[in-house]
Structure formats: C-alpha cells, structure tokens
Amino acid sequence: MDAQQVIICRCEEVSLEELLSTAREYQCTARELKLRTRAGMGCCGGRTCRILIEQIVEQATGQVPTHTVSLGYQPPVRPISFQTLGGKSS
C-alpha cells in the first residue's frame, strides 16, 4: 500500500493524500481542512484523527496550530446499551 493511501480519518474514510493535496491547494488551517474534507467529522468526532490533521496542516503549509479555534471533538453525551438500541428486553 502506498503511504499516501493511508486512511487518516477512518470514520469518513479520508486519506493522507486527500488531506495533503487539499491543505496545499487551499493553504487552509486545520479547521478549514476539516470542513473541506470532512476529516474529523465522523462518529468519533475527531478523537482519533484530530492531532494528525493538525500535524498534516503544519507539514503541508507550515502553519503552526494556534489553538485559538482548535479542532474540537464531541464525545457521545452518554453511553447507551445495545439492548436499548435493539429494542429487545432481556
């Protein structure tokens, strides 16, 4: 597998290649990159890829994250059981 084809955001299936090319083309911040590619906007809310996205922006554009408007992540409000989701009682 080519290193550029590595999936960075598993939830939205965004590759390293897509993130790098978008960051270079638009010279975007991490937040803009997230909005353009949907990386970090999946079901995990960016918990697994947020730091990688910031590092990719820094590598591709030279912009160091300021964290004035950091990439947020949104964990689930509260856990829910599979039983509740499935609607079956024990």
Taking residues 5-31, report their average pLDDT. Answer: 93
Q: Say what the pLDDT of residue 73 is.
A: 59
Domain limits of the chain? 3-86
Taking residues 30-35, report their average pLDDT. Answer: 91
Q: Say what the pLDDT of residue 3 is.
A: 73
Tell me, which fold does domain 3-86 have in CATH?
Arc Repressor Mutant, subunit A (1.10.10)
For residues 20 and 60, the answer to whether their CB atoms sit within 8 Å is yes
Q: Say what the pLDDT of residue 66 is.
A: 66
* pLDDT band at residue 35 using 50, 70 and 90 as cut-offs: very high
Give 38-90 pLDDT, tens digit per residue: 999 888 888 889 899 999 999 998 887 665 555 555 665 676 777 777 766 65
SS (H, E, C) the chain: CCHHHCEEECCCCEEHHHHHHHHHHHCCCHHHHHHHHCCCCCCCCCCCCHHHHHHHHHHHHCCCCCCCCCCCCCCCCCCCCHHHHHCCCC
